[in-house]
Amino acid sequence: MTVCLAFLFVCCNPIQKKEDHHLISVKKSPRPITIDGKATENIWALTDWHALDQNWAGMPYEHSDFNGKYKLSWDDAALYILVEITDDVLYDQYKDPLKLWWNEDCMEVFIDEDNSGGLHQFSHNAFAYHIALDGNVVDLGSNKEPQLYNEHIISKHVTEGQTTTWEMAVHVYDDTYVDGGNNIPKTLHNAKKIGFALAYCDNDSSTERENFIGSVFVPGEDKNQGWINADIFGTLLLEE
């Protein structure tokens, strides 16, 4: 009887698999990319821009206030991201990187190593990295407190006028990651799928961020879901 009940439970409650959406094919870089915020490598000239234009939080904004776009590449060691942000004000209000880190101008990179989707707010089923203007990388740890993950993302940004170019190398960790443990990033390979989204917190000098602009469409009224639910992430397909 126990075996029969277990069989019925599995049949009636299939494991939900994340659907691939916002699928992007990502070209491999033939050589490591130097993280200097200058986009001088040939691979950046050979890849397409993608829009950073989904207003996940905040009132409608003017194009002159903010607009963004990004490119992607990869090699065995890292996922590479190039972002171009036009923003009339860059605002960094807290010296403590673990204090209200989302209320400053910062990039956010969402990574789900196995593209499995699901909840991750206080686990490492996926990561929601906040990359501050000073380079600090913050996410919530398994202890439900903010942690620095500076070894996960190397970044550099260069600002000319109102345009800031970010270049990032993201070392990808899977869901076996243990805070404080001896963790080894995954080696990336052809045909691998990674859950991914990108966002920008825009603050023009308010106490709280004024807009949160993402890379993927999120249905429903509450679009600020990436830090909790990896189902909203898009999907990257790595290609040689």
Per the structure block, which two tokens stand in for 202? 């825009």
> How far apart (Å, rounded) are the C-alpha atoms in residues 129 and 170?
10
pLDDT for the residue 16? 66
CA torsion through residues 208, 213, 216, 219, sign: positive
The pLDDT tens digits for 182-238 are 999 999 999 999 999 999 998 877 777 888 999 999 999 999 999 999 999 999 999
The b/e string for 70-90 (b: 16+ C-beta within 10 A; e otherwise) is bbbbbbeebbbbbbbbebeeb
> How far apart (Å, rounded) are the C-alpha atoms in residues 226 and 224?
6
Per the structure block, which two tokens stand in for 177? 């990651």
Residue 91 vs residue 150, higher pLDDT:
150
The number of CA neighbours under 13 Å toward the Cβ of 10 is: 6
131, 132, 134, 140 alpha-carbon torsion, rounded to 10°: -70
Tell which CATH classification among 2.40.50.140, 3.90.198.10, 3.40.50.720, 2.60.40.1190 matches the domain 24-239.
2.60.40.1190
Amino acid at 239: E
The pLDDT tens digits for 44-101 are 999 999 999 999 999 888 887 789 999 999 999 999 999 999 987 777 777 888 888 7
pLDDT for the residue 64? 76
pLDDT for the residue 15? 53
Strand 137-140 relative to strand 146-148, pairing: antiparallel
pLDDT for the residue 105? 83
- Name the β-bridge partners of 155: 168
Phi, psi of 191 (to 5 degrees): 75, 5
pLDDT for the residue 11? 42
Query: Under a CB-based contact definition with an 8 Å cutoff, are residues 118 and 18 in contact?
Result: yes
Residue 180 vs residue 103, higher pLDDT:
180
Residue 2's CB: how many other CB atoms inside 10 A? 6
The pLDDT tens digits for 107-136 are 999 999 999 999 999 999 999 999 999 999
Average pLDDT along the chain: 90
